[in-house]
Amino acid sequence: MNVSALLAANGRKFPNKPALIAGEDEVSFSLWDDMANHWACHLREQGVAFGDRVILMMPNCLEFAFMYIAVIRCGAIVVPINARSTQEEVRYICEHAQATALVVHEALVPSVNELVEENGKIVAIKTGKSQGEWVGTADWSLEEILSDKLAAHVIDPEANWATEDTEVSILYTSGTTGRPKGVLYTHRSLLTVAKMMSIEMGMTHLSRVLQLMPLSHSAPLHLFFIPALMLGATQVSALTFSPELLLSLVQKHKITHFFGAPVAYLLTMKHPAFSQFDLSSVECWIYGGAPLSKEMAEHMEQAYGRDKLACVYGLTEAGPTGTCLFHREHPDKVGSIGNRGVLFAEIEVVNESGEKTAAGEAGEIRVRGEGMMKSYYNNPEATSETLRDGWIYTGDIGRMDEDGFLWIVDRKKDVMITGGINVYPKEIELQLERHPAIQEVAVVGLPHPEWGETITAYVVLRPDTEGKNDWNQEIRDFLGGRLADYKLPRQVVVLPALPRNSSGKILKHSLRDTHSLQGVE
């Protein structure tokens, strides 16, 4: 079995059933399969061969779904990237992946047109009509599939050329610590994660999945897009997220499953008409990317219902696969990421020697299972660092409590060592987020000749905040009694905004590099 064959099977099983809904447009499973096959033939005609890498830069639209399967069906490796990527980010990924083709939404052509003009070798494809160097998918007539022109390129999606161990896709990590790394998957990885999510979250062919998070990310793509394709469920998508869209689409389309970052839920709760929308169709509200504080969790339970909330933890390199926690099962443990590995996955917390830690002792979280990556593409050194003895070392520091529940402490690379003592930035950030004047905060360690690192807090103030002469003292006073003295920031820097990558994650390495060079005291 392979991902492309799943769609072919459902095209026969559910020919007239809505597979994809975007705005007023509705696509059946049979039409999706026809479009994927048609576009796969055209990709072959454009010179895309088995094993080639094809960059896919699109928002959540029908064309994304068509092209994602088309690339796989023609035997190439699909490389979805964030639609908000800059030209330099796209250039790096094209070069690193040694891409044969770049496929973009027509609205994004201006952001990468210079790159295409510079690179005369890459096949440039866009939605809409052909233009200049760009081949337009609107010029690919569906009737051509029957013509002599494309007859030689017709592909059998169920032929033996694609097994579960065939390489199928690459997702580039967010790059919060430097250049992004390409995570390489096989069909087995994707199918394992899809089966896991379907069973864990009770998804069936009757499910209706809402896609508002970018499908270039592993969680919405592998945990929901692929399972819905596999099951024959209906997917509803929109180009971007907004609280209004989330509420209106759930109500209109009777959505059963939605995944979002915690901030998506928190923003939506503040919608003035939140209580007026009918959200009763939802069976599972799933969030991930960051654990919730107890206070935020309680607010979410009141808004969305404790019985319907689920937290998932995983990372791109693991599929993503890892743990989950249903609020209804363990309401007293909300804020943790659960007490078990999900289906087909194991999870442990280990020390530097690879030995399991005792309850209460911090260590690195590691995961293993068939859903994890094959390797980092074209990066054996990074692969050997992350994938060891069959385990993915997550780089997350966690701690098991006495009841066996796992709590995230921080990122391993973010841990600060001051005076020989480990200090976890997340612990400080969680406290500072409670300050009424602070909108967001990032805590990092800057080099110090005597102490090793100086704890430094970068804060963005709320717009209505009154100016203070000494934020250093203000924050030390606020944290006094909440944290031990050695954990208190020695310096505070007020910024208009925190640096982030295209997927919204804070770039702590940028804060360290920039402000270390400027000699922050």
- Tell me, yes or no, whether 491 lies in a domain: yes
- Residues 219 and 363 placed together within one structural domain of the fold: yes
- In eight-state DSSP terms, residue 188 is H
Amino acid (one-letter) located at 115: L
- Residues 282 and 423 placed together within one structural domain of the fold: no
- Residues 72 and 146 placed together within one structural domain of the fold: yes
Using left for φ > 0, alpha for ψ between -120 and 50, and beta otherwise, residue 164 falls in alpha
Report pLDDT for 373.
98
Report pLDDT for 510.
84
- Tell me, yes or no, whether 113 lies in a domain: yes
Q: What's the pTM value of the predicted model, to 2 decimals?
A: 0.86
Report pLDDT for 152.
57
- Residues 222 and 75 placed together within one structural domain of the fold: no
Report pLDDT for 65.
98
- In eight-state DSSP terms, residue 413 is G
Report pLDDT for 237.
98
- Tell me, yes or no, whether 425 lies in a domain: yes
Q: What is the 3-state secondary structure (H, E, C) of 288-322?
A: ECCCCCHHHHHHHHHHHCHHHEEEEEECHHHCCCE
Q: How many residues does the chain have?
A: 521
Give the pairing of strands 421-423 and 416-418.
antiparallel
- Residues 69 and 158 placed together within one structural domain of the fold: yes
Spans of the chain below 70 pLDDT: 142-154, 158-160, 174-178, 290-291, 420, 450, 467-469, 502-504, 515-521
- Residues 349 and 432 placed together within one structural domain of the fold: no
Counting the structural domains of the chain, the total is 3
Q: What are phi and psi of 49, to 5 degrees?
A: -115, 175
- Tell me, yes or no, whether 136 lies in a domain: yes
CA 211 to each of CA 33, 188, 223, 284, 382: distance values in angstroms, whole numbers, following the listed order: 20, 23, 11, 14, 31
Question: Which residue reads 């979250």 in tokens?
Answer: 201
* DSSP line for 214-267: -TTSHHHIIIIIHHHHHHT-EEEE-SS--HHHHHHHHHHHT--EEEE-HHHHHH
Last residue of a domain, one of 372, 393, 411: 411
At 140-166, the pLDDT tens digits run 876 665 555 565 566 777 666 788 999
Decide if 55 contacts 93 (C-beta within 8 A). yes
Q: What's the CA gap between 207 and 496, in Å, rounded?
A: 43
Question: Which residue reads 């005609």 in tokens?
Answer: 45
Please name which of 253, 198, 256 lies closest in space to residue 228, comparing C-alpha atoms: 198
Report pLDDT for 143.
63
Report pLDDT for 509.
81
Q: What's the CA gap between 264 and 109, in Å, rounded?
A: 28
Report pLDDT for 13.
98
- Residues 149 and 199 placed together within one structural domain of the fold: no
**In terms of residue numbers, what domain contains 140?**
3-162
At 182-224, the pLDDT tens digits run 999 999 999 999 999 999 999 999 999 999 999 999 999 999 9
- Which CATH number covers residue 387? 3.40.50.12780
- Residues 158 and 225 placed together within one structural domain of the fold: no
Report pLDDT for 179.
78
- Residues 401 and 493 placed together within one structural domain of the fold: no
- Residues 224 and 251 placed together within one structural domain of the fold: yes
- Residues 468 and 501 placed together within one structural domain of the fold: yes
Amino acid (one-letter) located at 190: L
- Residues 317 and 283 placed together within one structural domain of the fold: yes
